[in-house]
Amino acid sequence: MFNKKQKQRGSMIEMALLATFVMGVLILTLAGFAGTADAKTTRIKDIVAFEGVRENQLVGYGLVVGLNGTGDSLNNSPFTEQSLIAMLERLGVNVRDQNLNTGNVAAVMVTATLPPFTNQGTTIDVNISSLGDSESLQGGTLLVTPLMAADGEVYAVAQGSVNISGFSAAGDATSVTQNTPTAARIPGGAIVERELNFRLEDLDTVKLSLRNPDFTTARRIAQAINGFSASNIATAENPASVVLKRPSMYAGTIVDLITDVEQLPVEPDQIARVVIDERSGVIVMGSDVKISTVAIAQANLTIKITETPQVSQPNPFAEEGETIVVPRTDLEVNNGPNAKLAVMETGVTLEDLVTGLNRLGVPPRDVITILQAIKAAGALQAEITTM
């Protein structure tokens, strides 16, 4: 027999265990809600581009030498010959008015991407593409090539041995080519000689450019930033940009402010859109695509004609008769007996639409036509973009 104190102690232990259990269930439930919320949100840095933080395209013209007879033919590529003569003259060799007949040189275009805020002396990768009738750049070396930006200034200089991912081989009766032997790459083949004259830390305001412009997303970004800072430092100017101002009492620079802001979670929004690539038959539909009530039918008419002519001959020893060809035609008409008529109700989601079209046995090519017809009927509540 338990006394009264022992019973009270047992009840208190049971209540504590019950409270622990309820708290565990509550934590798991909140974690589930948090996981669901995180699945719908993304960081600001993943959906915007910050003003001034951008890449710059570089381009240059150069020569690749050391090819094993697979370079440009100088008769068909006069620019290669002129470039070769000019290069040799700069090196003190006068070959003007001489008959040059070398197949070891190729004129190429050199391209590269200058990352944002790249320091002087940093190396970047370059891509090389043949400009003339060169057969292959294998084994070649790119000579010093200045790389210019859109402002005409030289920002990098490229040089080095080229690396190609393709090859070409030929015999008397056949030939084989894999990938593109006239395109090459030099990892770290260019040295940055000039830095961009732009200091982000000196700015008092910076513009956030949305990669997918949308009014709702821009407003949510501004609200998230203002809620984080407890002040109105962000304003949605339009669906494509949000202006961020550095607070007067903020101790850090604009770089520090961007670092704090870019990690904030935001739930992006977008319009319902259907993207169609008619060349490959690829269809991509957003999750918000809906259709109104509409009936869809898909059927094919197939006519098959088979000719099996037969030869008719008279009986042996017949007094009269001749051999003739008797036509035999087999005509088959198929109206698509498996075709069905499906009705899509109002507010049908993407999943319901795809399921209904699959039940009809509709191939992707016909789905494109059906979607365009639904849009023309005013039943598709989405924008169609054709690539």
> What is the model's pLDDT at position 24?
42
> What is the model's pLDDT at position 35?
43
> What is the model's pLDDT at position 19?
44
Which distant-in-sequence residues (6+ apart) come within 8 Å of 362 by Cβ? 298, 370
DSSP 202: G
CB 78 within 8 A of CB 41: no
> What is the model's pLDDT at position 123?
95
Strand pairing of 183-192 and 123-130? antiparallel
Tell which residue, 104, 156, 149, 151, has the closest CA to residue 126. Answer: 156
Give the dihedral of Cα atoms 219, 225, 228, 230; nearest 10 deg: -80
Q: What are residue 58's DSSP bridge partners?
A: 112
Residue 60 three-state SS: strand
> What is the model's pLDDT at position 26?
40
CB 286 within 8 A of CB 273: yes
Amino acid identity, residue 189? G
> What is the model's pLDDT at position 17?
44
Residue 348 three-state SS: strand
What's the pTM?
Answer: 0.62
Query: What domains appear along the chain, each with residue ranges and CATH number?
Result: 56-168+176-192 (no CATH), 200-266 (3.30.70), 274-316+323-386 (no CATH)
Q: What are residue 294's DSSP bridge partners?
A: 344
Interatomic CA distance for residues 84 and 100, integer angstroms: 9
pLDDT along the chain (387 residues), means of 10: 49 48 40 47 90 89 92 87 89 83 91 92 94 90 94 94 75 64 92 86 86 92 91 92 87 84 90 80 77 65 53 68 67 52 57 67 74 79 81
Vertex 125: Cα angle to 119 and 131 (nearest 5): 130
> What is the model's pLDDT at position 120?
92
CB 303 within 8 A of CB 385: no
> What is the model's pLDDT at position 250?
80
Interatomic CA distance for residues 62 and 138, integer angstroms: 16
DSSP letter for each residue of 249-316: T--S-HHHHHHHHTT-EE------EEEEETTTTEEEE-TT-EE-SEEEE----EEEEEE--EEE-PPT
> What is the model's pLDDT at position 126?
96
